[in-house]
Copies of this chain bind each other. A is one copy, B any other.
């Protein structure tokens, strides 16, 4: 132990200045709530104490299979206790957890697994056929560990090393995890853009620990109060999608009861919400629409009042927030993206708004909210100058925070587009108001440019969604010789047999023109009724495909 002059910097991470590693989050949860439970569907449950032991057993299992620090371990599983164990055991070994997006096409799955240089794979029985078609083109992979619920025999060409539960049961309950640099990469996954191949984003132990601490502080804020030791949490955002927004880590830090629903079937989700008395979930608006539209909920047979739901991925529309409110569901918004770990803002309502009635709160509940601790956020014009915080000036959102991906993995050109002038550029256009509340107006590339003016496709969608008889809507810009672009709407009617007419929708929209909320030239030039609107693998409107098909 040397004496340090404080005028000089203390030593780099050491026993006296320990690194921020993901294992710390697990220890905190077990201390806070050793008896709280991890629940998997209607199939099983165990305590946090047992959860820790299983993480140690999984580490032994993986070590025995030759997994070493620096290796990449891919997971293809439904949301489960196993996936949560992988969230910890793999990075705690110093290996990198690759959460594979199982909703991508087989060729895209192959691309991501080859690009990530996966060494070992945890694969659910349901995805074995997918990997059977790929594994010969993934020669680097040393072994596949089977995840399953049933015990039924499985005939497969995939070189399985064994079954998760069977091998786990043979392992000792304590693993002596290594200590290492907090800047070691812990997780890696791929996000799909509008063009080109999926892009890899990656996060270090330090980043995930800091994101967790920031999220814990935010989720416990007054009026928000989404998550703590006494709450029951169930994600409805897949664990392969930005680590389910990092919430499984935060829930573990705080010791919350955690419920993993397997695949997202509305019946199972509703069943678990009721039987496990779930307090808090998070999802994209599409999934909220699916839950409130599910028969037992819509018919009032099932009571979801008191359920808190954080919405992200796409902005929450007022129509959907109101429908949820009628069912007693408390919706809030947050904003972030795959590149940002993801949490950037959360709509912790100002005190006067929190005390007002629901109709006053409604627009606030649909905004993205205020930047969370340690996040710097600006809305800038094209020259990078911050715009006035007046709730009206529209520009691109750029951010700094200690939990942003350092780059797209092995992608120089696209990384240079992402990180410019020391800021991560989100590609979203938004306004910022006097209270620091962010409101996302559109993706830069979805903005419709008509006659030199900008129209927000999102705002138009929000208004059309309020029209009677409309279930869902997407607005895109269509090339136009005279105006450059003109807005075109795709509408899914509530009742396919009795859709509203295009004129009815236009008449409905004209009231907003009269109220000055939109300009006359923002009225769509075409309104087309369809049965379904294409979605991306994470449930957002797939505007790339919509544009292609139009």
Where the two chains meet, the residues of A that have a C-beta atom closer than 8 Å to any C-beta of B are 1-18, 20, 24-25, 27-28, 31-32, 34, 69-70, 72, 94, 96, 117, 178-181, 183-185, 188, 202, 204, 210, 213-214, 216-217, 220-222, 228-230, 253-254, 348, 351, 370-374, 376, 400-402, 404, 406-407, 409-412, 415-416, 419, 422-424, 435-436
Taken together, the copies of this chain in the complex come to 2
Contacts A217-B253, A407-B4; is A18 near B183 (CB within 8 Å)?
no
Cα distance A411–B412 in the bound complex, in angstroms: 49
Instruction: Determine whether the beta carbon of A28 is less than 8 Å from that of B374.
Output: yes
Is chain A's binding surface mostly helix, strand, loop or mixed?
A: loop
Name the residue on B nearest A419 (C-beta).
B1
Contacts A213-B213, A213-B217, A216-B217; is A180 near B7 (CB within 8 Å)?
no
Q: A4's contact among B24, B32, B34, B184, by CB below 8 Å, is which?
A: B184
Chain B nearest CB, measured from A147 CB (Å): 24
Cα distance A401–B216 in the bound complex, in angstroms: 19
A9 surroundings in chain B (CB, below 8 A): 181, 183-185
**21 CB < 8 A contacts A-B:** A1-B180, A2-B180, A2-B412, A3-B407, A3-B411, A4-B178, A4-B406, A4-B407, A6-B188, A7-B185, A10-B183, A12-B183, A16-B406, A20-B374, A24-B373, A24-B374, A216-B217, A217-B253, A220-B220, A221-B254, A230-B351
Cα distance A12–B13 in the bound complex, in angstroms: 13
Name the residue on B nearest A179 (C-beta).
B1
Instruction: Determine whether the beta carbon of A6 is less than 8 Å from that of B373.
Output: no
Cα distance A216–B214 in the bound complex, in angstroms: 10
Chain B nearest CB, measured from A267 CB (Å): 31
Instruction: Determine whether the beta carbon of A14 is less than 8 Å from that of B1.
Output: yes
Known: A213-B217, A213-B373, A253-B373. 6 other contacts (CB 8 A): A2-B69, A2-B412, A6-B184, A9-B181, A34-B435, A34-B436
Instruction: Determine whether the beta carbon of B32 is less than 8 Å from that of A348.
Output: yes
Instruction: Determine whether the beta carbon of B217 is less than 8 Å from that of A178.
Output: no
Instruction: Determine whether the beta carbon of B400 is less than 8 Å from that of A18.
Output: yes
Cα distance A400–B24 in the bound complex, in angstroms: 11
Chain B nearest CB, measured from A112 CB (Å): 14
A423 surroundings in chain B (CB, below 8 A): 15
Q: A415's contact among B3, B6, B222, B230, by CB below 8 Å, is which?
A: B3
Cα distance A309–B348 in the bound complex, in angstroms: 26
Chain B nearest CB, measured from A44 CB (Å): 23
Instruction: Determine whether the beta carbon of B436 is less than 8 Å from that of A6.
Output: no
Q: A2's contact among B2, B94, B230, B254, by CB below 8 Å, is which?
A: B94
A410 surroundings in chain B (CB, below 8 A): 3, 5
